[in-house]
Homo-oligomer: A and B are copies of this chain.
Amino acid sequence: MRPDERQTESMAAGFRARFPGHDFAVASPARLEDLTLPPPRLHPPAPLAAAFSDDPYDRAGHTYGKSYRDVVRGFRGQLDHPPDLVAFPSDESTVSAILDWATSADVLVVPYGGGSSVVGGVECPDQGHTGVVSMDLGRLNQVLEVDRTSRAARIQAGILGPALEDTLRPQGLTLRHFPQSFEFSSLGGWLATRSGGHYATARTHIDDFTESIRAVTPAGIYESRRLPGSGAGPSPDRLLLGSEGILGVITEAWMRLQDRPRWRASAGVRFTRYADAVSATRAVVQAGLDPTNCRLLDETEAAMSAGSGGGVSLLVLGFESADHPVDVPMARALELCADHGGTCPEGPRSSGPAPADAGPGSGSPAATSAPAVPSGPAGAADAVGAWRNAFIRAPYGRDALVAMSMIVETFETACTWDRFEALHAGVTEAVTRALGQVCGDGWITCRFTHVYPDGPAPYFSVLGPGRPGSEITQWDEVKAAAAEAILTHGGTITHHHAVGRDHRPWYDRQRPELFGRALRAAKAGLDPAGILNPGVLIDP
């Protein structure tokens, strides 16, 4: 799905027309064989040697996550702080043994799931310790147990999205958690970062699908009881959810599953005024309709990624159920949209059970994370399909943009409805100004990825022509302006991208100071030597 050379050159030509004065020369990425990594400072302990690798390819591959900064540095071959070793434990006792060794040898451990962090969460700190191990959980990748009655499964943390869904599909079950990183991210990573998934409303984060978690900490095993709900003290799971590897290494979890959906309805609703589209979205979610998909694309985003033709905002609505038709809630949602000036001349598309529905081909995010869009005449439904395709292709296209020094990144937040208008205006203005200052030009677009009765989760995409060699510092300035505007206007520094190292300055201001104190104390109890992912969430 990566663009080929011809497609890349065609993109560059398009940008040259749009951004005169930038040449968008397509550079070539550094070759792995040309890289010179600093030699490893560590040797693995002999009894555990089989679990470790010091192969340059493994070390280079575990140096960064997948943020724009990471991709640029990887493209340039700038790998200053690779892990000294990569560990690939294939069972929990090896995880424990590695943490024991690391604690005694003053070695830092950075837990690594799929490596798709966009916030510096898997980056290796360069601090005064003996060395750093990136612990890749990829060999803990099994579904260990399925409880069909309760619709739950015990799953190892290192499994990636597609393998997980492939395993559950024959039983008619699905976790139905499809972050944009689905193909490249792991269950443990989703849990550690409070990943945002498939459902646009009601059950948005992986948190909502978590029945219990098991983790290895330097102080021992931390395992919660498998329960559908509990009121016994503060939730033990909620301390691990979002802990980003600083408290322990998540090794497995009991996850709540769904029956695979059989009924679907989708619609694309157009609005000529963005404010009306926002009000309509709020009305739909406050009506308690809980659509599966409820993504509002602003004018630019609707034009760029859904081919709307410009001048309209597009609300992509979807409902689905494994049990019953969903035409009634869709009809009510469209009524509410119409009350706010939304039009959907084609009407909604709906589909019911078909023989192929539970078949092996229906589990990919392409088939299921966006609403079903049957082929048909041009119109809003096609816009929905176009948006879905753009959503899936986005991560692939980025490498080509990086090659031509285009700055391209996203950031996201959430705020209450009363603050959204000011936040949207403030962020747009701050980013546009920063882009003007550092790039001379560029654009910012907004969509809602998730919506709640009390507020939306806006997701911004930024694009600006960079100067070869300066892209990261340019982006850092834009990002700082965006983050400052988000905090000023009452948003969160992240709704589902996590904190990592990159969001620390703003997270530190957002987080209650006394929660930081409590978290530092909890970490000292579970990781007394402070070996786990230092610099993430709190200071070492």
A: residues with CB less than 8 A from B are 147, 149-152, 193-196, 202, 204-205, 211, 217, 219-236, 238-244, 247, 256, 259, 282, 286-289, 321-324, 328, 332, 414-418, 450, 452-457, 490-499, 503, 507, 510-515, 517-522, 524-526, 537
Contacts and interface: CB of A to CB of B under 8 A. Distances in A.
Contacts of A499: 232-233
Given A231-B497, A233-B242, A514-B525, 9 more contacts: A151-B454, A202-B202, A227-B416, A227-B455, A228-B456, A229-B452, A235-B242, A247-B518, A521-B522
Contacts of A289: 323-324
Contacts of A231: 193-196, 205, 242, 492, 494-498
B517 A219 contact: yes
Contacts of A490: 225-226
A5 to B, nearest CB: 37
A15 B513 CA distance: 58
Nearest to A537: B233
Contacts of A456: 228
A332 to B, nearest CB: 5
B323 A514 contact: no
Contact of A512 (B211, B224, B238, B243): B224
B238 A453 contact: no
Contact of A510 (B217, B232, B241): B232
A319 to B, nearest CB: 11
B217 A418 contact: no
Contacts of A220: 513-514
Contacts of A321: 287-288
B328 A332 contact: no
Contact of A518 (B151, B497, B525): B525
12 contacts: A147-B416, A149-B282, A149-B416, A196-B231, A222-B512, A224-B515, A226-B490, A227-B491, A228-B457, A232-B507, A234-B519, A256-B454
Q: Which 9 pairs of residues, A with B, have the shortest CB-CB distance? A: A228-B455, A518-B522, A287-B323, A228-B452, A238-B238, A521-B521, A194-B231, A236-B515, A521-B525
A404 to B, nearest CB: 32
A514 B234 contact: no
Contacts of A238: 234-235, 238-239
A414 B149 CA distance: 15
